[in-house]
Structure 1
Amino acid sequence: MTEKRAVVVEREFAYPPEKLWRALTQPHLIEDWLMKNDFKPDVGHRFNLRGDWGGALDCEVLEVEPPHTLAYTWNFAHEDAAYQLESTVTFTLTPTSAGTHLRMEQSGFRPDQKQAFGGAHAGWKQFFDKLDNVLPRA
């Protein structure tokens, strides 16, 4: 079996976990920081994330534990196997004295997916910057 790699991005937010939870689970807020979607926080719900680049991710909710843990698949089908991605994104929210520590782990990158791995690492940091701007109205 091939070893899989994971991207982990962590950040402190000056908001309570409940506010972050809303931004992670309400479709109109998800659209503002991540992508257009038809998300519902129900285990087993299948949904799509649609990017400005014209592509779509096929996802399925795996875990919902408000306001602590949210996990879903993050799969990208492509005719070129090098670009296909089957991964899982897990958000873990931990209350802190100043707000919330958010940890995002996207696991499932094959060793030959260096470009996707690097893109995810940079992309999640940008998504978190956008998330920070969405939180005041979450």
Structure 2
Amino acid sequence: MSAAHAHKLPAACVRKLSAALRRQDDIVAAWLFGSAARDAMHAESDVDVGVLVTVKPGLDRHLELMGLVMDAVRRDRVDLVILNDAHVVLRFEAVSGRLLVSRDDGERASFVSLTAREYEDEMAFMTRGYQMNAA
């Protein structure tokens, strides 16, 4: 996709999203990631949001949070990822995005640090696997 066709998520939507997520007591931290964080959205892009939560939400709560995100960004195509139990590669992509909310900086920093270490281990494991397959 060319840069001419890429666009940003409007700043007002990002502010509304941050405010809506900040009001949720069960959210420790939240990140915007993917094409929305890279200002590379197109008409078919979804909005990716990763949340670190105090307690894993049930289906109703997950859907409620998705609704908050959809309302804030004025798009139906959203992907809300609960980072607590997501795969390390997805967690790393999310925490490398744009921080929207940090209710507990210490807990967020610990999560990001653990994610970075696990990601490094995962990449080393994958590299060894590729090298063994190439030999």
TM-score when scaled to structure 1?
0.32
TM-score when scaled to structure 2?
0.32
Larger radius of gyration: 2
